[in-house]
Structure 1
């Protein structure tokens, strides 16, 4: 009620800020999905700042004993989501809140500034799956611009994604991004050297079959997770 008094534009809507992150996580909603659902185009910076704070709280304030696989998957989901959204929105909001502050980008899952000696494989696997699933979500909507924003290599632009998926969509098949399509057996992560990995994500169509696959690599420069997308697509083929 106090919030509504100072923000009359909310009208009769039920405002529960803590439920935003939960709704996005449970509904596997992208940033754009949530903005469109609630007409938040004029408040993208506020939403992005909030999601950045959610991620930071989960990544840095939870004790290690509370970091089970589901928590790591949740942290990775928000980190992958933030990694592909225009960082200028975060910087714009930061400048409004604190004009003297330097731009701040969301950081990774509890990794200290000093590079660790070994890569946290549980966090890496969760992050890799989350980035692959963000890519699958974009492809399921045929949003090739969003797909290009999910990967690190610039040679995979929207046109290349569209061309690669054309044979799949030509057969009137759809790419699923539901919980079944995100189950663990559709994702394969294989270690290649100390900091190199080969990834394969099977795309599940509307019949429940997995025909096409995304082949990607990750090559880390050091044993910590990067700020932006880390997937480098090698091929998408049947």
Structure 2
């Protein structure tokens, strides 16, 4: 904004209708946040040519930068701790930098209780099935289940960082940190909105899921500085934004609830309808992420040897025979960060004029042979109509 920064904030804090005590509390909070930004090296106080103190940024921030969550200053400090290196090689985090940044931002958002409850229910159900297969007795199973909850990426790291941060910024203790994984979980599972809702049986909470994804998108886009964004993180931001835009127009009831009643109704009683979403092809970067996710979803199912799910996705492909042939040569299919690297998913747009893209996904095997490929076509016209990447696997081959 520029100008007199202190004066602008002072006006914002005191020139309002809040009670006097509340205004002074806001002033103390503003000063504490300012000190946090100074300590983090994001802003500094310098002298202008006339000798007056001025505040200036020390880093490049995107035009829409905003600390729109109470714990956003903590998130900035925590992101600075991350490293793309694996933990065993001196790195901090899981070694998946982009998703770790997402997890930090998610930890500052309000809990979507319905989603987290279903995640915990799903995790406990899977754990019970596994324990039964292992022959664990009922009483022991019940005791072990008490320790199972919804996913909380970076929980230990965030808890330690929070305590260190709070020791110098005590105001932060007014807000609870809440590690969780919704955006990260959806991306790691390579699921669409509809698949995610179905997987966790959230049909009655679609509006809540959409609101959370929208809040997460806004927080990531506005909070993470440009210099902290890797190419993969930008891909995730674009993917999430496009997912929200495409889904939002289909939730008519949710959209209508946000409309301000009759004030926006046309005079001739024409029905109010939500605006159509932009073409899914308009954001090419986001669309390529959606395509890669569709291919990686097949890789994940192949790693689980889930023949039924694969056949449901691609009924014209003999998945059981392909997996039998693959597992005759390899013990497993890897699904880590390296396995979903864009380098292993080649998109050929040469035939775009015919309404098709051709895609080849390399399966990451333990030996690093990379001799098995999933070949598919992307139906561009159908993708526009459905608002999602429509991918059809053509064959699974060994080179």
Report the TM-score range of the alignment, normalised by the length of the smaller protein. Answer: 0.5 to 0.7
Q: Say if 2:377 is the partner of 1:214.
A: no
Q: What is the CA-CA distance between 1:45 and the residue it aligns to?
A: 2.3
Equivalent residue in structure 1 for 2:201, among 24, 41, 44: 44
Structure 2 residue aligned with 1:144: 307
Is the Cα–Cα contact under 8 Å of residues 375 and 393 in structure 2 kept in the other structure?
Answer: yes
Find the counterpart in structure 2 of residue 21 from structure 1.
182
Q: In structure 2, the residue corresponding to 1:189 is in which secondary structure?
A: strand
The CA deviation string for residues 201-225 of structure 1, in whole angstroms up to 9 with x for no partner, is 0001111220110000012117837
Say if 1:24 and 1:78 are closer, same or farther in 2 by CA, change over 3 A. farther
Mark the runs of 5 or more structure 1 residues left unpaired by the alignment.
4-8, 32-40, 81-93, 102-111
User: For the structure 1 residues 115 and 136, does the alpha-carbon distance in structure 2 shift closer, same or farther, using more than 3 Å as the test?
Assistant: same
The TM-score, its normalising length taken from structure 1, stands at 0.59
Correspondence for 1:175: 333
1:74 CA drift (Å) = 5.6
Q: After alignment, is 208-217 or 188-197 more displaced? A: 188-197
1:113 correspondence with 2:272: no
Unaligned runs of 5+ in 2: 1-110, 112-116, 121-145, 153-176, 192-197, 244-250, 258-274
Question: What does 1:84-99 align with in structure 2 at a 5 Å threshold?
Answer: none
TM-score (norm 2): 0.38
Native 8 Å contact 2:280 2:387 kept in 1: no
- In structure 2, distance between residues paired with 1:122 and 1:51: 23
Alignment partner of 1:193 is 2:352: yes
CA-CA distance at 1:169 after TM superposition: 0.8
Q: 1:171 to 1:189 in 2, by over 3 A?
A: same
Bigger Rg, which one: 2
- Spell out the pairing of 1:223-238 with structure 2 (5 A cutoff): 224=384, 226-227=386-387, 230-238=390-398
Asked whether the equivalents of residues 176 and 204 of structure 1 are also in contact (C-alpha less than 8 Å), the reply is yes
CA displacement, residues 78-108 of structure 1 (integer Å, 9 cap, x when unaligned) = 999xxxxxxxxxxxxx9xx99xx9xxxxxxx
RMSD across aligned positions (CA) = 4.8
CA distance in 2, matches of 1:22, 1:187: 22
Instruction: Please give the residue correspondences for 1:126-141 in structure 2 after superposition, counting only pairs within 5 Å.
Output: 126-141=289-304
